[in-house]
Amino acid sequence: MFMNIFEDTLKRIENLGKIGDFNKKQLQIFSKPKREHYSELVIGDMKFPAFRIQYNDARGPTKGGIRYHPDVSLDEVRALALWMSLKCAVVDIPYGGAKGGVKVNPKQLSQEELEEISRQYVRAFHEEMGPEKDIPAPDVYTTPQIMAWMLDEFEKIKGGHYPGFITGKPLELGGSKGRDKATAMGAYYVLREYVKSNKIDSRIMKIVIQGFGNAGMHISKILFDEGYKIIAISDSKGGVYDKKGLNIPKLIEYKKKKRKVSGFTKDIKNNDLLELECDVLVPAALENQITKENAGSIKAKIILEVANGPITSDADEILEIGDKIVLPDVLVNAGGVTTSYFEWVQNNTGYYWEEEEVLDKLDKKMTKSFYEIDKKVKEKDISYRDAAYIIAIERILKSEKLRGNA
């Protein structure tokens, strides 16, 4: 069943009115983006709708990735931009939230066409973006190379060097060490602290991961190296299962060679993978994967949301009744935007850090944010998602009030 993720997110926020002691006027600030930009990118006789949405900038310049996907829609980009606003506030970095998208299947484009689309995107929106306005980054199906093309186009238009215009760049153009695995490392730090605070023995935990792109691949490798047993993994073409535990380094080699995970060992369908008996389910693919239709069949005790919006609000209610712990996306995958912030800081100062320093700063930021949320969970007897949303909304509203807007 189709779920409008933007409307679903607004419903979540509206439901927080009483729990978070927010009035309707305050929550109205989150009801729509501050700015929306639309364009149409053209290659030959093909036209691709393109979006850049800046949702809230009370806490600083807006920040958010650019997604290339055939299912990109205006409401999807709105929801992602709203989540970015909340995410930046959750981990307390001085950004607002934005997001971009192009409705295109990049797998059907040549390298030259992909570069042309990327440069056209910057030409369409360059007046609305910049190091002190709105800082893009990679997202689904966009890469450091695409960020490099975009940076080059922006600098040609502006006539200077502006490495802080975009993050997730190659190291040679001002990217940050550690950025490639930052989302996964941030997710690991959150799970590590949850396991530690609840005195769970990680050595006996069974993990299932949906999605084997950048974040899914990195989180699987990190968890494998830390001694966790990963029993199933899927990508867009299928999944594999081994109750004794998958050899992740070998699976990564197989995926790079075959461009799929299926066939590595026993195959499993994606729907069956989500419903496996396990301790931790890691949705690391796209939105709306756990809905009211399958939420009652989820057996995982903990759900670690590495993807954006993998659980609908209706499903959240069912999972909560079933005593499932959901560690929410606005915290769990915030390692990416936090390290993007570190990259932007390095670009603006011209002083670059070693990977160990980047990951140490990320660890401290994610750990602090987890315990702030954990404290509110225990104080109010609410879910981790509600606690994270309340903290984010409080911080944004405080900035809006100081500006005279709330």
Residue 167, C-beta contacts closer than 8 angstroms, at least 6 positions apart: 135, 136, 137, 147, 175, 176, 179, 340, 343, 344
Q: Which amino acid is at 251?
A: L
Read off the pLDDT of residues 165-197 as tens digits, 9 standing for 90 and up: 999 999 999 999 999 999 999 999 999 999 999
Task: State how far the Cα of 24 lies from the Cα of 33, in Å rounded to an integer.
Answer: 17
Identify the DSSP state of 193: H
Read off the pLDDT of residues 52-95 as tens digits, 9 standing for 90 and up: 999 999 999 999 999 999 999 999 999 999 999 999 999 999 99
Catalytic residue among 87, 99, 229, 255: 99
Q: Which residues of 221-237 are buried (b: 16+ CB within 10 A; e: fewer)?
A: bbbbeeebbbbbbbbee
Structure tokens at 382: 């609410």
| Helix, strand, or coil (residue 354) | coil
The model's confidence at residue 1, banded by pLDDT at 50, 70 and 90, is very low
Structure tokens at 312: 């609908």
Percent of residues, the chain, with pLDDT higher than 90: 89
Residue 385, C-beta contacts closer than 8 angstroms, at least 6 positions apart: 12, 316, 326, 328, 330
Nearest to 270 by CA among 212, 184, 224: 212
Q: Which residues of 127-156 are buried (b: 16+ CB within 10 A; e: fewer)?
A: eebbbeebbbbbbbbbbbebbbbbbebbbe
Structure tokens at 398: 């405080």
Average pLDDT over residues 371-383: 96
Q: What is the pLDDT of residue 20?
A: 84
Read off the pLDDT of residues 201-255 as tens digits, 9 standing for 90 and up: 988 899 999 999 889 999 999 999 999 999 999 998 899 999 999 999 999 999 9
Q: Does the annotation count 99 as an active-site position?
A: yes
Q: What domains lie within the chain, and their CATH numbers? A: 34-175 (3.40.50.10860), 182-332 (3.40.50.720)
Residue 138 has pLDDT above 90, yes or no: yes
CB-side neighbour CA atoms (13 Å) of 275: 11
2-16, 134-148, 201-215, 392-406: range with lowest mean pLDDT: 2-16
Alpha-helix residue ranges (DSSP H) falling in 126-238: 144-158, 182-197, 214-225
Nearest to 340 by CA among 160, 157, 150, 139: 139
Q: 125 or 270, which is more confident?
A: 125
Residue 2 has pLDDT above 70, yes or no: no
Residue indicated by tokens 């659980």: 311
